[in-house]
Structure 1
Amino acid sequence: MKPVDEYFFNQKEPYQSIMLYVRSVILNTLPEVEEKYSYRIPFYNIGKKPMIYLNILKGKNYVDVAFVQGILLEKQFPVLKNDNKRKQVRSIQLRTIEDLDHENFVELLHEASNSLSKSKKAWFI
């Protein structure tokens, strides 16, 4: 079993179901995305640049769907929040699968992919 698969299957519910659902949406929406296991969490890269990662922050009760260049997308997609005072990363916090607006998320994935493809660096701040 790949480390990223182990990570998902070792999560408690409802986090496991939420993460597996988000993973399937990402992989089905962006066939060019590469799933990696870095820093002990799943990352989704476009080329060699990280675009999204999934995490459960200590002391929080949600899955953090974090966009690396989220600061560039937060005006167009107000669902992205600045959690933990991060400089560049913005995220969607999911407590249930129903919290995810599928159509909006797919649009956000396409926009994030296009933005990252045009960018020279993944981390710019």
Structure 2
Amino acid sequence: MKPVDEYFINQKEPYQSIMLYIRSIILDTLPEVEEKYSYRIPFYNIEKKPMIYLNVLKGKDYVDVAFVQGILLEKDFPVLKNDNKRKQVRSIQLKTLEDLDHENFVKLLHAASELLSKSKKAWLI
């Protein structure tokens, strides 16, 4: 079993269901994305550059769907929040599957992918 699969299996509910659902949307929407297991969490890379990662932060009660270049996307996608005072990462916090606007999330994935493809590097700051 791949480490990323183990990561998902070891998550408690509702986090496991939320993460597996997000994973399926990412993989279905962006067939070119590469799923990696880095820093003990799942990352989704475009052209070897990290675009999104999924995590459950300690002491929090939600899945953090974090966009590496989120600072450049937050104006067009106000659903992205600056949690934990991160310099460039912005994220969507999901407590339930119902918290996700599927259509808007797909648009966000396409925008993030296009942005990252045009960038020389993922980390701007």
Asked whether the two chains share a fold, i.e. TM above 0.5, the reply is yes
Tell me which residue corresponds to 1:31: 31
Distance 1:29 1:89 in 2: 21
Q: CA deviation at 1:34?
A: 0.1
Describe how 1:39-118 pairs up with structure 2 within 5 A.
Answer: 39-118=39-118
Report how far residue 36 of structure 1 moved: 0.1
**1:77-124 superposed Cα distances (whole Å, 9 cap, x missing partner):** 000000000000000000000100000000000000000000011001
RMSD: 0.3
Taking the aligned partners of 1:92 and 1:124, their CA distance within structure 2 comes to 20
- 2: CA distance, partners of 1:98 / 1:30: 22
Q: Percent of pairs identical after alignment? A: 88
Distance 2:115 2:19 in 1: 24
How many angstroms apart in 1 are the aligned matches of 2:6 and 2:98? Answer: 24
- Which runs of structure 1 show a deviation greater than 4 angstroms over 4 or more consecutive aligned residues? none
User: How many pairs were matched up?
Assistant: 125
Structure 2 length as normaliser, TM-score?
A: 1.00
- TM-score norm. by structure 1 comes to 1.00
Helix, strand or coil: the match of 2:76?
coil
